């Protein structure tokens, strides 16, 4: 069947992350993000797309720093709370009952309990008429010891990183599925 071009988000699943930032006045913010991708393996830059009316975008512009937190599907409620439109002066760590985790190379804290934390610095903003593209450099990447082995391999089965599909009925959250036996041989 024919699909409208803007239905592309239904056939291209996107990751779900929580971006944490702080405002220039020190207010903590956290927001879910789907439009995020690494820019060419094995480089260390990422790209995020943002509508212009986002506290996250304002904070990145003001401080040049952000943390990409990778939540598990078990954190779906937190994701939904952070998706609400809070005023810029609201501390979203408090609103969503998030435990801050000190970052190593940037000011914004990470979110405790996530699968991994990507500390980023702004490299470039590409401003379009209705949205903005942010290029960030990953300056520190850390995985939660509970989900990674000594080689840095993630146990996807227990970590359950979230992704999303946007269909006519809204967001559907998904997580990795496994082919079962025979996986080891690949
Ligand atoms: C799963 C999910 C993914 C989202 N992805 C994006 C995105 O890629 N870009 C964007 O601008 N907003 C996205 N949003 C909407 C923002 O998270 C939402 O508007 C949030 O309130 C923005 O918070 P802020 O103003 O504190 O930055 C997404 C929301 C959800 C639930």
Q: Residues 114-165: pLDDT tens digits? A: 999 999 999 999 999 999 999 999 999 999 999 999 999 999 999 999 999 9
Does the pTM surpass 0.75? The reply is yes
pLDDT in tens, 55-99: 999 999 999 999 999 999 999 999 999 999 999 999 999 999 999
Question: Is 37:102 a contact under the CB 8 Å cutoff?
Answer: no
Total domains, the chain = 1
User: Residue 186: what pLDDT?
Assistant: 46
Per-residue pLDDT band at 177 (split at 50, 70, 90) = confident
- Ligand 1 atom with least separation from CA of 51: 11
Residue 185 falls inside a structural domain:
no
Would 52 be classed as within a structural domain?
A: yes
Within a domain: 184? no
Residue 112 falls inside a structural domain: yes
CA-nearest residue for atom 14, ligand 1, is 33
Residue 34 lies in a domain: yes
Q: Whose CA is nearest to atom 30 of ligand 1?
A: 32
Residue from 77, 80, 83 whose mutation best tests the ligand 1 pocket (most atoms within 8 A of CB): 83
Supply the range of the domain harboring residue 70.
5-177
Q: Is residue 186 part of a domain?
A: no
Which CATH number covers residue 93?
A: 2.30.110.10
How many of the other CB atoms lie within 10 Å of CB of 109? 21
With respect to residue 74, please indicate whether it lies within any of the assigned structural domains.
yes
* Distance between Cα 164 and ligand 1 center (Å): 13
Output the residue whose Cα is nearest ligand 1's atom 4.
33
**Among 70, 89, 39, 92, CA closest to 159:** 70
CB 33 less than 6 A from any atom of ligand 1:
yes
For residue 36, give the ligand 1 atom closest to its CA: 8
- Domain assignment present for residue 110? The answer is yes
pLDDT tens, position by position, 4-13: 998 998 999 9
**What percent of the chain is helix, strand and coil (3-state, nearest 5)?**
20, 40, 40
Ligand 1 atom closest to residue 56's alpha carbon, by position in its atom list = 27
């Amino acid at each position: 069947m024919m699909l409208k071009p803007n239905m592309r988000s239904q056939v291209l699943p996107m990751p779900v992350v929580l971006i944490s930032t702080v405002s220039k006045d020190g207010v903590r913010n956290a927001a879910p993000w789907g439009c995020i991708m690494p820019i060419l393996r094995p480089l260390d830059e990422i790209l995020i797309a943002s509508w212009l009316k986002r506290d996250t975008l304002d904070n990145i512009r003001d401080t040049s720093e952000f943390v990409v937190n990778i939540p598990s599907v078990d954190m779906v409620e937190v994701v939904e709370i952070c998706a609400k439109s809070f005023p810029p002066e609201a501390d979203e760590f408090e609103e969503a009952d998030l435990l801050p985790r000190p970052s190593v190379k940037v000011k914004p804290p990470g979110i405790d309990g996530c699968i991994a934390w990507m500390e980023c610095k702004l490299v470039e903003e590409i401003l379009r008429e209705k949205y903005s593209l942010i290029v960030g450099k990953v300056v520190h990447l850390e995985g939660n010891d509970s989900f990674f082995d000594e080689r840095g391999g993630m146990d996807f089965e227990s970590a359950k990183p979230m992704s999303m599909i946007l269909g006519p009925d809204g967001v559907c959250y998904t997580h990795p599925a496994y082919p079962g036996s025979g996986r080891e041989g690949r």
